[in-house]
């Protein structure tokens, strides 16, 4: 099954994806993660990408698509995958159609106030990528022992730009996938486990062809 996961920055896509991965036995492909690896490479190209990401803007579609195509060549994607962070524009969605038949678009619907509150306290493990929030976690290291840090794009100035970018470029994808008849809207719940269960219900309807 090939799934596009759609939602505002901080809506909990990564958390939901990690639960779906275990259940569906397919990998998550996060273009943000792929880009962060390149950004950390220290090359000139990596530094260019890093600057764009830190600003909260979008990296060029050409660059992201190339990375995605390479990732999709790996054998673990043969039974499907969950795309987290791609497509982010209508243009990217159209280009995706040339390389994949998407079965479902899962839209994670979370109120903006909840998201802003969440993002402003978000800390991420430098080693395993696990996300915590300073409001609910008092530790200074991850459970894996890794250092916790505030991602540059989780700083207030960048959060505002990411939202604007989302509203302008990515939100139109909701109607795009609705028109294609494959949109499944899951309301983000306080407990991530509830969100996950609702998402699974919606996806099994999809598998049965409902």
Q: Which residues are catalytic?
A: 13, 88, 122, 151, 162
Least distance (Å) between residue 209 CB and ligand AMP: 29
Q: Which residue is nearest to ligand AMP (CB)?
A: 32
Lay out the site mask for ligand AMP across 12-41 (x = CB under 6 A, - = otherwise): ------------------xxx--x------
Site residues for ligand AMP, 76-135, by CB under 6 A, read 85-86, 88, 92
Q: How many chain residues are in contact with ligand AMP, going by CB under 6 A? A: 18
Q: Which of 50, 118, 162, 184 binds ligand AMP (CB under 6 A)?
A: 162
- Going across the sheet that includes 2-6, the strands are 28-30, 81-84, 2-6, 104-109, 183-187
Lay out the site mask for ligand AMP across 45-84 (x = CB under 6 A, - = otherwise): -------xx--xxxx----x--------------------
Contact residues for ligand AMP (CB under 6 A)? 9, 30-32, 35, 52-53, 56-59, 64, 85-86, 88, 92, 153, 162
């Amino acid at each position: 099954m090939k799934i596009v996961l759609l939602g505002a920055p901080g809506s909990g896509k990564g958390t939901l994806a990690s639960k779906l991965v275990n259940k569906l036995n397919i990998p998550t492909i996060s273009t943000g993660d792929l880009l962060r690896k390149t950004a950390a490479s220290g090359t000139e190209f990596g530094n260019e990408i890093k600057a764009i990401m830190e600003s909260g803007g979008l990296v060029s579609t050409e660059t992201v698509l190339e990375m995605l195509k390479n990732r999709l060549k790996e054998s673990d994607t043969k039974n499907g995958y969950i795309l987290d962070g791609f497509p982010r524009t209508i243009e990217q969605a159209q280009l995706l159609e040339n390389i994949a038949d998407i079965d479902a678009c899962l839209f994670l619907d979370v109120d903006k106030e909840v998201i802003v509150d969440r993002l402003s306290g978000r800390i991420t493990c430098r080693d395993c990528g696990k996300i915590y929030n300073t409001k609910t976690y008092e530790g200074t290291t991850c459970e894996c022992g890794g250092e916790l840090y505030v991602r540059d794009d989780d700083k207030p100035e960048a959060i505002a730009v990411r939202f604007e970018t989302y509203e302008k470029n990515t939100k139109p994808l909701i109607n795009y996938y609705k028109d294609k008849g494959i949109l499944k809207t899951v309301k983000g719940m306080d407990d991530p486990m509830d969100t996950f269960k609702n998402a699974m219900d919606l996806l099994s309807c999809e598998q049965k062809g409902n």
